[in-house]
Amino acid sequence: MGRPSKGRQRIEIRRIEDAGRLEVTFSKRKSGLQKKASELFLLCGSPVALVVFSPGKKAFARGTPSVDDVLRRYAPIPGEELDAKLLAVLQDTDDANAIADRAEAEAIVRRTEETRARSATEKARMDAIGKTVRQAAAKAGRKFWWEADSDELGEDELPEFAKMLRRLRVNLQRHLDSLSARLHFPDAEDNLTFNDTMIALQLMRAQFPKLDKVVAQPFIVQSQLYSSVKDRTQVDRDLESFKRDKVLRIFKLSSGQDDHAIMFMDDYLKQVAFAIKRSGGKDQDGSEVFEWFERYVVPSKLDVSINQLELCSLLSRGGDVTDKHITLLMNAGLLTRQLIDPNIYWFSIPRIGPILKGLSQGRKEILSLLNRRKYKEMLLSSLENTKLRLSPLDTRFLLRDLIGSGHIKTVQTPTGLLARISRD
């Protein structure tokens, strides 16, 4: 039938020669013997005392109610007849004591059983709740239990669900804090890789550099993700599924190289609102196009670019579209054109010009800094402490991007991580 092991076998009752097996057998059988002794007292009311000496010459004594009690009662030490009074008391109230002892022991045992039963029922209840939550999550098509639709859960699941969510949040915050603390000291922890794209995205969003004069919602450059998550194909596939679920949007940056920026949907909408306000607000004529854009174009077109026909057809669900409307969109920075194809409009993050400039300048500066050195390498810790002259962005942001795009590679050395220009 293909059983994994042969199960319990009969063994020969002889002294075991092998020392290891001897000790294991001793401890297992000793505990069994002690259990049987206590059961005998409970079932038949007979006081039992058990003394066992282990192969290591240790003594284990067990008795109910206690070893001393039993022995003094039934096998009195000759020198202790002076305490005959005590002994007599013990002997007289033998039955009462025994009954009291037994009652107490039984009470303890009962309490233990009750607690065990209670914990079992509680566990069963939590399991049932967990199953319901997971089913609700699966029904909504989500992978994780915390994405379960709370309307689907019943009233006994909701409090537990809320408690678990709070606990998850606390754990996640703790994890993020520890990770960000770790990243400040890279030579202490050289393992900068995670295996979840969303964790990496959240972490990098939290560590987005804050510039003085620019108000911008955080975004992540795609090559930064590759420096933190090992499996690039999985990152791409996760990004694709997040994009389809409208959790985030991907934009092609016009920096000349193949750069993409990732922004969470709510951050993007906030940035769009800010850009609209800055570009002239809602009191220009034609400004209803901003609302059409947000309502019709953003939710339905999830790609990085859109061609003219489709843009017009989507916008015209709101009303008549003229060229002036598209001009307004371009002036606000929501759409751009790139050299690749004149008929295609590209979605863009508005008002991040200084950041993009800082990105390209910073890349060049770090690469030239490394190239000037004799062996084109530098310790990562000292690199992170250098202040860049031409770029306001912090070095860690730029280093992640350079490592992920392959210009710099990191090498583990006894003194920490080393960053080196990678030759092709």
Partner 1 sequence: MWLEDVRGRERGELRARRFEASARARRAASLALSNRKEFATPHHGAVNSLQVDLTEGRYLLSGASDGSAAVFDVWNATEYEAGFIAKHRNILLVDKQHQNGHRFAVSAAVWYPVDTGLFVTASFDQYVKVWDTNSTQVVMEFKMPGKVYTAAMSPVATTHMLIATGTADVQVRLCDIASGAFTHTLSGHRDGIMSLEWSASSEWILMSGGCDGAIRFWDIRRAGCFRVLDQSRSQLGKRPPLVKSAVENDHTDSLGPSPSTRSSAQKRAGISKKSSPALRKIQNLTHGQMQQRLHPGLSSSQNRATAHYGAVTGLRTTTDGMYLLSSGSDSRLRLWDIDSGCNTLVNFEAMRLQTGKPLQLAVTEDPSLVFVPCMASIKAYNLWSGTTFRTFRGHYELVNCCYYSEQDQELYTGGNDRQILVWSPSTPAFTEMEDDDKTLSGADEDNWSD
Question: Which one among 54, 115, 316, 386 touches partner 1, defined by CB under 8 A?
Answer: 316
289 binds partner 1 (CB under 8 A): no
Contact between 143 and partner 1 by CB under 8 A: the answer reads no
Q: Which residues, in sequence order, are CB contacts of 404 under 8 Å at separation 6+? A: 221, 222, 223, 224, 225, 226, 227, 228
Q: Which of residues 333-362 bind partner 1 (CB under 8 A)?
A: 340-341, 343-344
Decide whether 244 or 389 has the Cβ nearer to partner 1: 244
Query: Does 46 sit near partner 1 (CB under 8 A)?
Result: no
Q: Between 205 and 244, how does the x/- string for binding to partner 1 read (CB under 8 A)?
A: ---------------------x----xxx-xxx--xx--x
Who's near 275: CB < 8 A, 6+ residues apart? 332, 333, 334, 350, 351
| Sign of the alpha-carbon dihedral angle for 231, 237, 240, 244 | negative
Cβ 271 to partner 1 shortest distance, Å:
23
Nearer to partner 1, 60 or 296 (CB): 296
**Is 405 among the residues that bind partner 1 (CB under 8 A)?**
yes
**Least distance to partner 1, CB of residue 221, Å:** 14
Site string for partner 1, 168-207 (x = CB under 8 A): ----------------------------------------
Give 314 or 355: the residue with its C-beta nearer to partner 1. Answer: 314
Closest to partner 1 by CB, 157 vs 401, is 401
- Contact status: 9 vs partner 1 (CB under 8 A): no
Q: Near partner 1 by CB under 8 A, which window of 120-128, 157-165, 345-353, 398-406?
A: 398-406
How far is the C-alpha of 19 from the C-alpha of 204, rounded, in Å?
Answer: 57
- Rule CB under 8 A: is residue 312 a binding residue for partner 1? yes
Decide if residue 317 touches partner 1 (CB under 8 A).
Answer: yes
- Examine residue 382 and tell whether it contacts partner 1 (CB under 8 A): no
Assess 258 for contact with partner 1 (CB under 8 A). yes
CB-wise, 169 or 237, nearer to partner 1? 237
Query: In the chain, what's the furthest Cα-to-Cα distance?
Result: 116
| Chain contacts with partner 1 (rule: CB under 8 A) | 226, 231-233, 235-237, 240-241, 244, 252, 258, 300, 303-304, 307-310, 312-314, 316-317, 320-321, 340-341, 343-344, 404-406, 424
